[in-house]
């Protein structure tokens, strides 16, 4: 009886060991398959022709105006891929760093289940005055508007990268330097100053300036816009500047609440061309610059300077002037980068800036 039991024990152990080894071999094969480069162009994908490398990951915490702050469990989130041509500003010409495919976890997914607790919700319930600050242990931080994360036409393009792959030019075979640590990647940025290493803290905030809210105000009208580039001496404009060219953008104009508004095109000036007169493009302004556009009834929306000035997708934001409008006039914003129309502020009265300029 004892001999039979011993034989049975060793037989089971052998089976378990064989299964474990088999599973380990399967895992190893799978891991090799995941990172294996397509060096013979077996597929039409340009973005799998080099090996992928893991980046060192760190704990990430979400804080701020939410009911459920705490650490992020990345294991429960899907991976997303983005492709970027990383370039930074430089005094002697813009400096190209390299072209990469990054895989990682989107801010959309990271923030999706964080229940908002806006500190100004009694005064202004809409979420379009929210933004997040992303920080690392070096003290670097960048601002990202809520609209950039949850409203764009192309979702999941802001990620915290956990893997990287060079996009190697086929003729020169130039190998760009590889990052080693996790990285914030904002794929729609032209100059990638906001792509900071080792992001570890994400703080949700609402814009802290108060405005008088008159919901349902009629007529909704403002004859001019005050641009507060100088606190004591704002610039007042009553029409689109004559030295700025009109542009027409074709769109399907769709609201999150009321659905379809129109299928007609919008014509106006590029919003960035007006703002650049007063707020220059610098590394600091790309990282932290932020505008709040407020309307006659207290409605307002937050935009980062980067999403207005620094796009690589040509999804421009228009400022539209209609001097004949008796209601909802005379200035209106049209963000063509957004899927919804919620940040299309009408009857604009004020534009405020926050952040470093130099």
Same domain, 54 and 196: yes
Same domain, 202 and 63: yes
Within 13 Å, how many C-alpha atoms sit on residue 309's CB side? 24
Residue 279 lies in a domain: yes
Same domain, 232 and 115: no
Same domain, 295 and 170: no
Same domain, 56 and 202: yes
Say what the pLDDT of residue 326 is: 82
Which of 144, 175, 206 terminates a domain? The answer is 206
Phi-psi region of 172 (alpha: psi -120 to 50; beta: other; left: phi over 0): alpha
Say what the pLDDT of residue 327 is: 87
From 198, 192, 206, 195, select the one nearest 180 (Cα to Cα): 198
Write the CATH number for 243. 3.90.420.10
339 DSSP 8-state letter: S
Tokens of 166: 């060079």
Query: What average pLDDT does range 71-87 have in this prediction?
Result: 97
| Enclosing domain of residue 239 | 225-354
Give the span between the Cα atoms of 198 and 57, in whole angstroms: 8
Same domain, 161 and 259: no
Same domain, 56 and 197: yes
Residue 330 lies in a domain: yes
Query: What would the pLDDT profile of 252-305 be if each residue is shown by its tens digit?
Result: 999 898 899 999 999 999 999 999 999 999 999 999 999 999 999 999 999 999
Give the span between the Cα atoms of 124 and 141, in whole angstroms: 26
Give the span between the Cα atoms of 290 and 190, in whole angstroms: 17
Which of 140, 173, 206 terminates a domain? The answer is 206
Give the span between the Cα atoms of 15 and 25, in whole angstroms: 15
From 286, 276, 269, select the one nearest 320 (Cα to Cα): 269
pLDDT at 225 over 90: yes
Which of 176, 206, 236 terminates a domain? The answer is 206
Residue 20 lies in a domain: no
Say what the pLDDT of residue 152 is: 97
Same domain, 198 and 244: no
In the chain, the largest separation of any two C-alpha atoms, in whole Å, equals 101
Confidence of residue 25 (pLDDT cuts 50, 70, 90): very low
pLDDT at 26 over 50: no
Say what the pLDDT of residue 34 is: 46
Contact 333, 320 (CB under 8 A): yes
Residue 213 lies in a domain: no
Say what the pLDDT of residue 332 is: 96
Contact 271, 317 (CB under 8 A): yes
Same domain, 198 and 229: no
Residue 297 lies in a domain: yes
Residue 92 lies in a domain: yes
Same domain, 190 and 236: no
Q: What is the mean pLDDT of the chain?
A: 89
Residue 131 lies in a domain: yes
Same domain, 253 and 295: yes
Same domain, 201 and 263: no
Is the C-alpha dihedral spanning 64, 140, 162, 103 positive or negative?
positive
Q: What is the dihedral of CA 164, 104, 137, 98, to 10 degrees?
A: 30
Q: How many domains does the chain have?
A: 2
Residue 11 lies in a domain: no
pLDDT at 358 over 70: no
Q: How far is CA 342 from the centre of its chain?
A: 17
């Amino acid at each position: 009886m004892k001999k039979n039991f011993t034989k049975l024990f060793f037989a089971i152990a052998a089976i378990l060991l064989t299964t474990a080894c088999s599973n380990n071999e399967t895992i190893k094969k799978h891991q090799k398959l995941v990172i294996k480069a397509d060096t013979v162009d077996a597929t039409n994908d340009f973005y799998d022709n080099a090996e992928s490398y893991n980046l060192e990951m760190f704990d990430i915490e979400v804080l701020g105006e939410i009911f459920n702050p705490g650490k992020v469990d990345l294991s429960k989130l899907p991976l997303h891929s983005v492709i970027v041509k990383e370039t930074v500003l430089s005094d002697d010409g813009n400096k190209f760093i390299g072209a990469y495919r990054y895989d990682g976890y989107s801010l959309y997914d990271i923030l999706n289940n964080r229940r908002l607790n806006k500190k100004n919700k009694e005064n202004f319930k809409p979420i379009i005055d929210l933004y997040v600050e992303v920080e690392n242990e070096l003290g670097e931080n960048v601002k990202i508007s809520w609209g950039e994360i949850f409203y764009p036409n192309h979702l999941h393009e802001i990620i915290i990268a956990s893997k990287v792959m060079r996009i190697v030019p086929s003729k020169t075979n130039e190998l760009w330097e590889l990052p080693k640590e996790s990285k914030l990647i904002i794929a729609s940025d032209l100059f990638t100053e906001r792509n900071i290493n080792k992001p570890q803290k994400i703080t949700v905030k609402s814009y802290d300036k108060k405005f008088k809210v008159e919901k349902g105000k009629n007529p909704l009208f403002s004859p001019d816009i005050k641009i507060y580039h100088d606190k004591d001496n704002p610039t007042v404009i009553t029409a689109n500047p004559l030295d700025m060219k009109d542009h027409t953008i074709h769109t399907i104009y769709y609201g999150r609440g009321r659905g379809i508004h129109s299928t007609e095109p919008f014509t106006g000036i590029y919003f960035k061309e007006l703002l650049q007169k007063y707020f220059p493009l610098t590394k600091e302004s790309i990282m932290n610059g932020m505008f709040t556009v407020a309307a006659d009834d207290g409605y307002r929306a937050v935009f980062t300077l980067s999403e207005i000035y620094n796009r690589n997708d040509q999804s421009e934001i228009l400022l539209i002037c209609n001097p004949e409008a008796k209601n909802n006039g005379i200035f209106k914003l049209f963000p063509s980068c957004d899927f919804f129309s919620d940040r299309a502020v009408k009857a604009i009265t004020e534009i405020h800036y926050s952040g470093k300029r130099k």
